[in-house]
Structure 1
Amino acid sequence: MEVILKQDIKKLGEKDDVVTVKPGYGRNYLIPQGFAVLATPSAKKVLAENIRQAQFKQEKIKKDATQLANKLEGVKLTIGAKAGETGKIFGSVNSIQIAEALKKQGFDVDRRRITFEQDPKVLGEYVANLNLHKEVKVQVPFEVVAE
């Protein structure tokens, strides 16, 4: 019996895979639980169309991320923070502050996509890693200065 998986199932397959299973496993477990649908010719056509549309969307998202990465190449940020006499920051600079500084310069980047190589806890220069897409990453240098 052939079924189309609706989600990843360990030791069986990933979402949108067409797999062959024993009829009892398919009828009594996979289909009633909503983990799979019967692989009829019409369901296979719908699956092929859904995969094609998903690829088109992913290509568009990657293209947009690449364009944004090209624009971010020459950007350098300056972040103000309260610091003590030794140069140690009260608290630390976080991804929200980097996202706000990028927004002021006209770049809309989600704060959850920003990571640091080392946490900025003292005044100085650092690098923020922006994961715009799973294949598109860019590094933006920034400087932490005392307010």
Structure 2
Amino acid sequence: MKIILTHEVSGLGTPGDIVEVKDGFGRNYLLPQGFAILWTKGAEKQVESIKRARGARDVRDLGHANEIKAQLEGLKVTLSARAGQGGRLFGSVTANEVAEAVKSAGGPALDKRKIELPTVIKSTGGYTVQIKLHSDVTAKFNLNVVASK
């Protein structure tokens, strides 16, 4: 089955790539989850618009990724969340909340899909968060989760 990826799929490709997959994998997983669309001649023309959108959002090159890495590693990121007794959170911290906290701390706008949380964050404290900026560059920064007043 020939498909066009609309999201990054680990081990398969990035958005806009045209790949050949087994029928069951495409029909039962990639298409229902919205990770891909069926390949047609008309859909192939849409690949260019998908690639342009990805280019605007992605890190431009290795030098730009290293600049962002230096900026992130010097940043003190604090996220306040509702917490109960003993510092246990109501819910958990998501990658989207981490991206917003970085932006509000004066850091760059980050793609939430590239943020890798160490574990599910369900209590206050300090955590080391990792983000894959480029295929060769991974940045780590400290996230301090505090209880909101």
TM-score range, shorter chain: 0.5 to 0.7
TM-score, structure 1 length as denominator? 0.58
Partner amino acid, structure 2, of 1:127: T
Structure richer in strand, relative to its length: 2
Q: How does 1:1-147 map to 2 (within 5 A)?
A: 60-104=60-104, 105-147=106-148
- Give the direction of change, closer, same or farther, for the CA distance of 1:7–1:73 in structure 2 (3 Å limit): same
> Could you say what secondary structure the match of 1:89 adopts?
strand
Distance of 1:123 and 1:142 partners within structure 2: 10
Answer yes or no: is the 8 Å Cα contact 1:118–1:126 preserved in 2: no
Q: Which residue of 2 aligns with 1:15?
A: none
Contact 1:128 1:141 in 2 (8 A): yes
CA displacement at 1:140 relative to structure 2: 1.0
Q: Where in structure 2 are there 5+ consecutive unaligned residues?
A: 1-16, 22-39, 42-57
RMSD: 2.4
The ranges of structure 1 where at least 4 consecutive aligned residues each deviate by more than 6 angstroms after the TM superposition are none
Question: Which structure has the larger Rg?
Answer: 1
TM-score (norm 2): 0.57
Given residue 138 of structure 1, which amino acid in structure 2 is its aligned partner?
A: A
Aligned length: 97
Unaligned runs of 5+ in 1: 1-5, 11-32, 35-57
Deviation at 1:77, TM superposition (A): 0.8
Q: Which residue of 1 aligns with 2:29?
A: none
Q: Residues of 1 paired with 2:88 and 2:133: CA distance?
A: 30
Letter of the 1:140 partner, please give it: F
Identity of aligned residues (%): 32
**Is the 1:92–1:120 contact (alpha carbons within 8 Å) kept by the matching residues of 2?**
yes
Whole-angstrom CA distance in 2 between matches of 1:84 and 1:59: 38
Shift of 1:86: 2.0
CA distance in structure 2 between the partners assigned to 1:129 and 1:59 by the alignment: 16
